[in-house]
Amino acid sequence: MTQVSHWINGEHLTSERTLAVTNPATGEIIRQVADGDAGTVQTAIEAAQQAFPAWRDTPPAKRAQVMYRFKALLERDTERLVQLISEEHGKTLEDAMGELKRGIENVEYACGVPELLKGEYSHNVGPSIDAFSNFQPLGVVAGITPFNFPAMVPLWMYPMAIACGNAFILKPSEKDPTSTLAVAELLEEAGLPKGIMNVVHGGRETVEALLDAPEVKAVSFVGSTPIAESIYSRGAAAGKRVQALGGAKNHAIVLGDADIENAANTLMGAAYGSAGERCMAISVAVCVGDETADRLIESMRPKIAALKIGPGTEKGLDMGALVTAEHRDKVLGYIEQGIREGAELAADGRELVVPGHENGYFVGGCLFDRVTPEMRIYREEIFGPVLCVVRVDSLDEAIALTNAHEYGNGTCLFTRDGEAARRFTDAIEVGMVGVNVPLPVPVASHSFGGWKRSLFGDLHAYGPDAVRFYTRRKAVSQRWPSPFEASHAEFSFPS
């Protein structure tokens, strides 16, 4: 069985310890991935440190050329990469294609790095004094990524980090690492010097070695909230810059005046696309008024029953399998919990069997009605194809409910009322907000990040915030006095 290797300094390195990688549609172990230790991390750090100075001194326009070629290679290899994503993650080919395209957008943004790093200049801030600020790379920086977007989330990080002049170490998810590695390796063909991009596989031990290493200056993390919080504390305690993006419970508020058929259709994709394994998935529909809830549920039930579910690598499907047996069992556990807590299961996907794939980790679409805020299925992130309907009486109540939740990643309002939409976008305490747009994932020229316990740190991912995250500002004041100016000692602050 092949081992998905580390990739350090342009070399493929294996580990004696490995972790199994499964095809979620069949339940079969298809590969082993190397499980790195502190020694592997140290090898990567040394390679990155050695490669950094020459890359830092490479003009941004030349660094951008690597990104232009990288984009072309990603487009050349799209079909192969999409197959790999789908095979290990379980999502459909079309969805894998979407993820890759959204990832490529970030490479395109990184191509603009000469413009993004232009800096700031003020002439004549004092007698013969000019001031300028420029943005310099940090050195060796690291990224730790989740299973649910094995291509896109790493592409949120390293194209900008590298374009800004840093050397990067990526620790992909151990659940679906092959496409992540395949994408990163294309950088070598794109002309990136060895050691600037490195991939180290593994789990907690690998991550902790990165967090504790003083040579690693910044860490970008995306994953679940408990891990994000611990990464943030441990990394910050070690003196690093950290951005740690966590979990979500995204609410869509549906007003009575909304086009319910349109809301139902878009909620189908937002709740059940990628089997709900998206940090921006809508997992709560807050319906204002009983009639709104009844109409929405009536419209969604037949659509849920008609979901085309199967192995993601087959064409024309709506939804694939969940990523692992453990995760499938966790999702099923939440469904049982919801029933015990008294929510009404209006659509039940638990008994779904995909013929020929009886060992796959499939769960059909589930819809809970009459969910209340104390229930665990409301409070916690399920990360599966389960939509909870909460009934409220007013938009203000819906906003207060959303704001009281510990997560604040994404949200959406369905309405035809502009005043209500404006009130909602002003008052909602969530980082990414949609109006009749259920998955308001910002394009690459804006940054991505939630509020509250969906993000630990100050700067969001990709876009303009990434330039700030992966560089440090240097403010220079320089004076070139005229030989005719008299000089004298000054002992007080110039006033």
Catalytic (active-site) positions = 279
Please tell me what DSSP assigns to residue 87.
Answer: H
Q: Shortest gap between Cβ of 207 and ligand NAD (angstroms)? A: 4
Distances in whole angstroms, Cα of residue 275 to Cα of each of 142, 166, 253, 382: 29, 36, 21, 11
Q: Shortest gap between Cβ of 404 and ligand NAD (angstroms)? A: 19
Q: What phi and psi values does residue 180 have, to the nearest 5 degrees?
A: -60, -45
Tokens of 304: 């849920």
Q: Please answer whether residues 248 and 409 qualify as being in contact, where contact means their C-beta atoms are separated by less than 8 angstroms.
A: yes
Site for ligand NAD in 120-159 (CB under 6 A): 144-149, 153
Give the separation between CA 71 and CA 84, rounded to whole angstroms.
18
Tokens of 331: 């999702």
Q: Which is nearer to ligand NAD, 224 or 337 (CB)?
A: 224
Site for ligand NAD in 90-119 (CB under 6 A): none
Q: Shortest gap between Cβ of 138 and ligand NAD (angstroms)? A: 21
Q: Shortest gap between Cβ of 70 and ligand NAD (angstroms)? A: 22
Site for ligand NAD in 394-413 (CB under 6 A): 409
Q: Which is nearer to ligand NAD, 142 or 366 (CB)?
A: 142
Q: Shortest gap between Cβ of 220 and ligand NAD (angstroms)? A: 10
- For 384: left if phi > 0, alpha if psi spans -120 to 50, otherwise beta; the answer is beta
Specify the stretch interacting with ligand NAD by CB under 6 A; choose among 123-131, 240-248, 341-349, 417-425. 240-248
Q: Please answer whether residues 43 and 51 qualify as being in contact, where contact means their C-beta atoms are separated by less than 8 angstroms.
A: no
Q: Pick from 269, 244, 260, 301: which is nearest to 438 by CA?
A: 269
- Binder among 60, 223, 273, 434 for ligand NAD (CB under 6 A): 223
The yes or no reply on residue 379 touching ligand NAD (CB under 6 A) is no
Tokens of 3: 């081992």
Strand positions, DSSP E, 397-492: 407-408, 410-414, 432-435, 451-452, 455-456, 471-479
Specify the stretch interacting with ligand NAD by CB under 6 A; choose among 101-109, 187-195, 221-229, 438-446. 221-229
Q: Which is nearer to ligand NAD, 55 or 383 (CB)?
A: 383
Residue by residue, DSSP assigns 284-340 as EEEEESHHHHHHHHHHHHHHHHT--BS-TTSTT-SB---S-HHHHHHHHHHHHHHHH
The yes or no reply on residue 207 touching ligand NAD (CB under 6 A) is yes
Site string for ligand NAD, 247-286 (x = CB under 6 A): xx------------------------------x-------
Q: Shortest gap between Cβ of 33 and ligand NAD (angstroms)? A: 10
The size of the interface with ligand NAD (CB under 6 A), counted in residues, is 27
Specify the stretch interacting with ligand NAD by CB under 6 A; choose among 24-32, 61-69, 170-178, 333-341. 170-178
End-to-end CA gap in the chain: 73
Q: Which is nearer to ligand NAD, 29 or 54 (CB)?
A: 29
- Binder among 31, 171, 217, 241 for ligand NAD (CB under 6 A): 171
Give the separation between CA 151 and CA 183, rounded to whole angstroms.
7
The yes or no reply on residue 87 touching ligand NAD (CB under 6 A) is no
Question: Please, is 432 exposed, middle or buried when counting C-beta atoms within 10 Å of its C-beta (0-12, 13-18, 19+)?
Answer: buried
Q: Shortest gap between Cβ of 479 and ligand NAD (angstroms)? A: 46
For residue 453, the one-letter residue type is R
Site string for ligand NAD, 42-61 (x = CB under 6 A): --------------------
Q: Which is nearer to ligand NAD, 311 or 431 (CB)?
A: 431
CA 101-218-34 angle, to 5 degrees, is 65
Give the separation between CA 401 and CA 379, rounded to whole angstroms.
11
Site string for ligand NAD, 432-471 (x = CB under 6 A): ------------------x---x-----------------
Q: Pick from 267, 245, 266, 271: which is nearest to 408 by CA?
A: 245
Site for ligand NAD in 1-30 (CB under 6 A): none
- Binder among 76, 118, 204, 473 for ligand NAD (CB under 6 A): 204
> Which residues have C-beta within 8 Å of that of residue 57, sequence separation ≥ 6?
none
Q: Shortest gap between Cβ of 459 and ligand NAD (angstroms)? A: 13
Tokens of 224: 């679940």
- Binder among 22, 23, 173, 415 for ligand NAD (CB under 6 A): 173
* The CA-based dihedral angle spanning residues 214, 218, 223, 224, taken in that order and rounded to the nearest 10 degrees: 70
Q: Which is nearer to ligand NAD, 280 or 335 (CB)?
A: 280
Q: What share of the chain is helix, strand, coil (3-state, %, to 5)?
A: 40, 25, 35
Q: Which is nearer to ligand NAD, 40 or 173 (CB)?
A: 173
Specify the stretch interacting with ligand NAD by CB under 6 A; choose among 46-54, 65-73, 203-211, 236-244. 203-211
- Binding-site ranges for ligand NAD (CB under 6 A): 144-149, 153, 171, 173-174, 203-204, 207, 222-224, 227, 245-248, 279, 381, 383, 409, 450, 454
